């Protein structure tokens, strides 16, 4: 499925739709260049879930944790990961064992330490907007 998103608001609305569609335990890989809208999509997801606080990219912290209506949501940004083994040191496998939704930006930086995703979302700039493509991985 590939769609055109006119602006930031449309990107947040796409994220909000994911709130209604994703199961309570789900791993979502987010692909896209810097500024493509990955964190904006996660913000839309969290707003739809009922979260009203600040949503920032976890570029420096590696992970931001949110609890909304007793559901856990983890937002990872692996952009600054130098060696995928760093993920083992933060106990990344423990996150995936929980009943939670995990969004991972720059998942290629964690090759070998990340399980197969349930969904893959690719965002790319297109004119003044973005295009988004989502794949559902069926073998999970």
pLDDT tens string 19-48: 999 999 999 999 999 889 999 999 999 999
Report how far apart, in Å, the C-alpha atoms of 109 and of each of 3, 16, 48 are: 26, 26, 29
This prediction's pTM: 0.92
Residue stretches of the chain with pLDDT short of 70: 139-140
In this prediction, residue 140 carries a pLDDT of 52
- Count of structural domains, the chain: 1
* Residue 34 domain boundaries: 2-136
pLDDT of residue 139: 64
Domain at 87, CATH number? 3.40.50.300
Sheet holding 129-136, edge to edge: 2-5, 129-136, 119-126, 26-31, 100-105, 71-77, 63-68
Please count the other Cβ atoms lying within 10 Å of the Cβ belonging to residue 52: 8
Residue 83: the pLDDT is 87
């Amino acid at each position: 499925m590939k769609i055109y998103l006119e602006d930031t608001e449309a990107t947040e609305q796409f994220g909000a739709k994911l709130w209604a569609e994703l199961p309570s335990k789900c791993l979502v890989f987010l692909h896209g260049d810097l500024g493509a809208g990955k964190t904006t999509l996660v913000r839309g997801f969290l707003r739809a879930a009922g979260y009203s606080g600040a949503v920032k990219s976890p570029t420096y912290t590696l992970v931001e944790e949110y609890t909304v209506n007793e559901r856990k949501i983890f937002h990872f940004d692996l952009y600054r990961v130098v060696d995928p083994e760093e993920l083992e040191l933060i106990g990344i496998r423990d996150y995936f064992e929980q009943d939670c939704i995990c969004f991972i930006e720059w998942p290629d930086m964690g090759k070998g330490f990340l399980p197969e995703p349930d969904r893959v979302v690719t965002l790319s700039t297109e004119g003044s907007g973005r295009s988004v493509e989502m794949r559902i991985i069926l073998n999970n």
